[in-house]
């Protein structure tokens, strides 16, 4: 079974631009979560989508948004990029998003904002 895939793997943007990242979950998984990982803050939860609905949300500004499609693929968007948005963005999928389920992580998208 194919794992979680994320595209693109690397991105370089400049301040003020916007960016869209894509995540394809494991086949059959309906829950997709997004995380931001930085050396200083570690892994921080952005949001979780299930059946095309945002079900959970972390403490990030409204510049960070996402959506999920009917095939469970998910995208996240960051508008008006700031230098501090430079990070590794990881998505993870699980069957239903229940707390006792394993979340499988994708390889991540490394975003550099100049």
- Residues near other proteins (CB under 8 A) are 33, 35, 41-45, 48, 54-58, 90, 99-100, 102-108
The nearer residue to other proteins, 78 or 89, going by C-beta atoms, is: 89
The nearer residue to other proteins, 72 or 94, going by C-beta atoms, is: 94
* Residue count (the chain): 114
Given a contact cutoff of 8 angstroms between Cβ atoms, the answer to whether 31 and 49 are in contact is yes
Nearest approach in angstroms of CB 34 to other proteins is: 11
Nearest approach in angstroms of CB 93 to other proteins is: 12
The nearer residue to other proteins, 17 or 52, going by C-beta atoms, is: 52
Residue 82 CA to residue 28 CA, distance in Å, equals 35
Residue 79 CA to residue 6 CA, distance in Å, equals 19
Residue 24 CA to residue 74 CA, distance in Å, equals 6
The nearer residue to other proteins, 55 or 63, going by C-beta atoms, is: 55
**Residue in the structure block whose two tokens are 């069957």:** 95
Nearest approach in angstroms of CB 107 to other proteins is: 5
Number of neighbours of residue 24 by Cβ within 10 angstroms: 21
Nearest approach in angstroms of CB 15 to other proteins is: 26
């Amino acid at each position: 079974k194919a794992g979680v895939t994320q595209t693109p793997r690397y991105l370089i943007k400049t301040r003020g631009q916007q960016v869209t990242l894509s995540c394809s979950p494991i086949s059959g998984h309906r829950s997709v979560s997004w995380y931001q990982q930085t050396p200083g803050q570690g892994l921080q939860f952005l949001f979780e989508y299930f059946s095309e609905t945002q079900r959970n949300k972390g403490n990030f500004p409204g510049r960070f948004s996402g959506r999920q499609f009917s095939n469970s693929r998910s995208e996240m968007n960051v508008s008006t990029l700031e230098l501090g948005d430079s990070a590794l963005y990881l998505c993870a999928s699980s069957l239903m998003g229940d707390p006792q389920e394993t979340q499988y992580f994708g390889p991540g998208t490394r975003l550099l904002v100049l």
